[in-house]
Chains A and B, each alone.
Chain A
Amino acid sequence: MNLAIIYNNVRFKNPLVLASGILGVTGNSLKHVVENGAGGVTIKSIWLKEHIGHPNPTMIGNEHFFLNAVGLPDAGIEKAKEEIATYLKWAIQEDGSVKAPLIASVVAGKVDDFGETAEQVAELKPHLIEVNISCPNVEDELGKPFACDFNQAARVTREVKKRVSKIPIIIKLSPNVSNIVEIAKSIEDAGADGLTCFNTFGPGMCIDIETAQPILANRVGGLSGPGLKPLVVKMIFDLYKAVKIPIIGTGGVLTGRDVIELMMSGATLVGMGTAVYYRGVEVFGKVAEEIRQWCEKNGVEDISEVVGRAHQ
């Protein structure tokens, strides 16, 4: 059976993508994730200049949920150039085929800076660019995420599309809005080539009751983990009906069955991040095998057949 997926004319050997913010600090780390079975990888969000992020604790969780406020630490564009080059040198083979495509996530505090960062990152020739306008744990610094306002989301999309013409632009949405369809449509109208659905939920907070202190140093952080999957499935279901651009679904996915479910709701690719906490970096290979087994048992010869099946 065929697990390969074509997304915006880029071929993925399977629909599993490392979500941004998990493990992707170095080119070799991305390589390691691919060696563990990922079909594609997203590098940790790139800033133009160094961005320190939050002190620890930055990541906490248990069997029910995961909460993080790492705060997008990054050394800036120069380091990104080196790490992307390291990855692409390994990933692009002599015959020009690609072991696993690279999605470069970019982040900025201002609309213009999104354009500038994306333009500089585009020179490094990643296969896709994901624009992170939805991080919920840098609000103190940057204000409400652009993804929470359809005008702002469209402005960023137009700015990036104006400055990057040769690489597909994916916009990463926030689930923390009441009008997700309206926002997605405005982003599609502004020229985006795809959507990543979604960034983390909330923000949420955990309080240590012995000290009455919020545990995360940033006090609040983005929520992820298995309990969120029904919310993600429903919103992707709604978006699949409303927009034509393809969706990378992410949120609460731990198993092959979860991946199939998100794809049936309308996702073409499926991102996993928190799953690495629950099942280790080997999760990608394990989930790919679970998908294969399910497809074989259920007569699915090509994984792309299941995309949007819940709408039939």
Chain B
Amino acid sequence: MSCSKGHHCCQNLKPKNAMPEMVSIVDIKNENPFVKTFTLDCSVDGQPGQFVMLWLPRVDEKPFSIAYDDGQNLELSIANVGTFTEQLFTKKPGDKVGIRGSYGKTFQYEDGEHLVVLGGGYGAAPLYFLAVEAVVRGCTVEFIIGARSAEYLMFEEKAMQLKAVKVHVATNDGSRGFTGTSVDLLNHLLNEGMKVDRIMTVGPEMMMKAVSDVALVRDIACQVSLERYMKCGFGICGQCVVDESGMAVCMNGPVMDHKLARAQAEFGKYHRDKVGRKKEW
């Protein structure tokens, strides 16, 4: 950003977008009884695994993983889990919300690879986006999703419509597909001889830790997506820093190699709340 004299001229300062822009909701779709996908009339040039900050004036602003961005419309798949999402769920097509981003790192893989994407709960949304892009890049994808029971599953039918993507479903209660966790299903498929170049996983941290353990033992490349409390999204508020490296997850993640995640003493153990206090998972 310097000019030749070492000055920093205004025109060379191009910091990350840090100002919300109001955009319209163009469509709202139920994914399951708890999750809605909001389609917005904007693009943030988002990549799978990246996130945006969603602002509801006079309420709050929270980070959400990008469920889809085709260059025209941004989609966010959001579970109703708290006061913020309760407010969001009252919105209708035509209403406006604030968006800034995209932020964070995306998944890394090579063209033509055979990938496992493994989503727990809401993690299926960014992984569907990833699968769409991976197929365009000549990859084949094993799409593993798991949930407590069938009613919590997301994106199963959408993923089934993708060419070169094979969908595998696990439910804890056996109400659909394999009985057990998505990690049990991964182990089952690997034991049956499934070959894979890379595993990408998004979901609860303890689940991702278990996936990472499998990948480590079997020597398979693996990427995880860490969720930490975030305020700014661009590496200065310090809320999402992790022990012991001290790096900010919003800049060095959320998607990172599982070995980098494992090098963090807190991975699979704790995270921090809005005042920076440690909270065990």
How many residues of B are in contact with the other chain, CB < 8 A? 47
Residues of A close to B6: CB separation below 8 A = 255-257, 290, 293-294
B207 to chain A, nearest CB (A): 25
Contact A63 B236 (CB under 8 A): no
Interface residues of B in 36-95 (CB under 8 A from A): 53, 55, 57-62
What would be 25 A-B contacts, judged by CB atoms less than 8 Å apart? A23-B235, A23-B236, A23-B241, A24-B238, A25-B238, A25-B241, A28-B243, A29-B246, A32-B245, A56-B60, A57-B20, A57-B55, A59-B232, A61-B19, A62-B15, A64-B10, A73-B276, A213-B58, A215-B20, A217-B61, A254-B13, A277-B235, A278-B1, A281-B248, A293-B6
Query: Taking A56-B55, A208-B98, A276-B236 as contacts, is the C-beta distance between A26 and B60 under 8 angstroms?
Result: no
A242 within 8 A of partner (CB): no
B159 to chain A, nearest CB (A): 32
Residues of B close to A24: CB separation below 8 A = 238
- State the CA gap A9–B61 with chains docked (Å): 44
Residues of A close to B171: CB separation below 8 A = none
Residues of A close to B61: CB separation below 8 A = 55-57, 217
Q: 1/0 contact trace for A270-295 toward B, CB 8 Å?
A: 00011011111100000000100110
A32 to chain B, nearest CB (A): 3
Residues of A close to B218: CB separation below 8 A = none
Residues of A close to B98: CB separation below 8 A = 208, 215
Interface residues of B in 1-21 (CB under 8 A from A): 1-2, 6-8, 10, 13-16, 18-20
Q: 1/0 contact trace for B217-240 toward A, CB 8 Å?
A: 000000000000001101111110
Contact A208 B20 (CB under 8 A): yes
Interface of B (DSSP majority class): loop
B64 to chain A, nearest CB (A): 12
- State the CA gap A290–B235 with chains docked (Å): 22
Residue from the list A33, A56, A208 in contact with B231, Cβ < 8 A: A56
Q: Which residue of A lies closest to B57 (CB)?
A: A213
Contact B276 A61 (CB under 8 A): no
Query: Of A45-53, A158-166, A179-187, A195-203, which binds chain B?
Result: A45-53
B17 to chain A, nearest CB (A): 8
Contact A279 B57 (CB under 8 A): no
